[in-house]
Amino acid sequence: MTPIVSGFSKLSKANKIKWLAEHHFNNDQNVIDTLAMYWNSDNGLQKLHDEFTENTISNYYLPFSVAPNFLINNKPYTLPMTIEESSVVAAASKAAKFWQTRGGFTAKVLSTSKVGQVHFMFMGSSVILEKFFTETQSKILSSVSHITKNMEKRGGGVTAITLIDKTTEIDNYYQLHCTFETVDAMGANFINSCLEQFAKTLVSEAEKYNEFSDTEKEIEIIMSILSNYVPQCLVNASVSCDITDLPSTPTLSSQQYAEKFIRAVRIAEIEPYRAVTHNKGIMNGIDAIVLATGNDFRAIEAGAHAYASKNGKYSSLTHAEIKDGVFKFSIELPLALGTVGGLTSLHPLVKLALQLLENPNSKKLMEITAVAGLAQNFAAINSLITTGIQQGHMKMHLMNILNQFKATETEKQQLIHHFKNNTVTHSEVVAQIKKLRV
């Protein structure tokens, strides 16, 4: 049984590893060596990584890849992508190359408003509370002037505060629903700092409001926190071309391809079981950009999936149509991204990723990221309605299987050649390795 440990975070990295090895791995030297293997030889860089989070014992590497040939708003881009799934970068690159000769991707930010809330309980009259809020709103706003000063210089700040009565859902429950503009910053710390000050001012002003009874003066703050659901921080991306410019196969004409593609998207619009996997594919592309640029992929995922449910049923984030002989494929979703603050000025690869994108502001990054999601979805649907998803996916997965069986370079070359014209399955790869090793 693992003992309770006190002061673990204060131990040196070596002693943390020693404790883990002793209590979880029977002092296995291979465990210690594996952790040390992934340390950076540059002590300064390793110290930087150690300080990103708590109780760091090693680094966990993910591939840093690039996807070329993206044409976005008539400008060429090579996208940085951090992801371990083998087919994602290849699929994005293939989609980018296809649309590059058909006008490329068009993207536009529709809005950039972010949200935070002060959740509180109030036992008195909602009418008097509304009057109190109206009379003290300016004081609540001015109480954060020391926090918003620099943000306002950059064109951001608090844009609105609204009192929301939620007592029909929870007795005595109210909100201050606040909206913010954070310009090129993700803005989480800025928003939360403002919200906590709003809460303090709300309580202090209530204590001296003459129209409140003694009971009413006791506003109970439950919590003050930003929301990762940002339906007013929206971006749209799309591609379009004449139907005749779409792929055709021996079994599908371009017209049939377009119609089948639209039916596939329509199924994702009405069938949640399909929509979840459909949107997961979109997030393959989006998360890869979000990770590479040092943004919070968990927040982006949560916000995107919430937006997919905005009409009361989980649905596709992409849509397709044919109009006047033109095929159009588009996506709309919330993306609260930043290009300053956080890891953007600390992590060397994040800085490099942003340089690769020519140091975009947050709006440009929103557009680029939405395009990555749309390209990923196009590639996935293209495979699904033609060859099937496994043919391309398993060919990309081939190298992982070969590495799992410690194939030599000679074996890899022979098997790559063999599977150019043969279906890749795990069992068939194993069979072919055994043949080579007889």
Class level of CATH domain 114-227: alpha beta
Domain boundaries, the chain: 8-50, 64-108+236-386, 114-227, 393-436
Catalytic residue numbers, as ranges: 85, 280, 296, 393
CATH of domain 64-108+236-386: 3.90.770.10
For the chain, the three-class secondary structure string (H helix, E strand, C coil) is: CCCCCCCHHHCCHHHHHHHHHHHHCCCCHHHHHHHHHCCCCCHHHHHHHHCCCCCCCCCCCCCEEEEEEEEECCEEEEEEEECCCHHHHHHHHHHHHHHHCCCCEEEEECCCCEEEEEEEECCCCHHHHHHHHHHHHHHHHHCCHHHHHHHHHCCCEEEEEEEEECCCCCCCEEEEEEEEECCCECCHHHHHHHHHHHHHHHHHHHHCCCCCCCCCCCCEEEEEEEECCCCCCEEEEEEEEEHHHCCCCCCCCHHHHHHHHHHHHHHHHHCHHHHHHHHHHHHHHHHHHHHHCCCCHHHHHHHHHHHCCCCCCCCCCEEEEEECCEEEEEEEEECCCCCECHHHHCCHHHHHHHHHCCCCCHHHHHHHHHHHHHHHHHHHHHHHHCCCHHHHHHHHHHHHHHHHCCCCHHHHHHHHHHCCCCCCCHHHHHHHHHHHCC
- In this prediction, residue 217 carries a pLDDT of 82
pTM for this predicted structure: 0.89
Q: Please list the pLDDT of the chain residue by residue as tens digits (438 residues).
A: 778 999 999 999 999 999 999 999 999 999 999 999 999 998 999 999 988 999 999 999 999 999 999 999 999 999 999 999 878 999 999 999 999 999 999 999 999 999 999 999 999 999 999 999 999 999 999 999 999 999 999 999 999 999 999 999 999 999 999 999 999 999 999 999 999 999 999 999 999 999 998 877 889 999 999 999 999 999 999 999 999 999 998 889 999 999 999 999 999 999 999 999 999 999 999 999 999 999 999 999 999 999 999 999 999 999 999 999 999 999 999 999 999 988 888 899 999 999 999 999 999 999 999 999 999 999 999 999 998 655 555 656 677 788 888 888 888 888 887 877 777 777 888 888 888 787
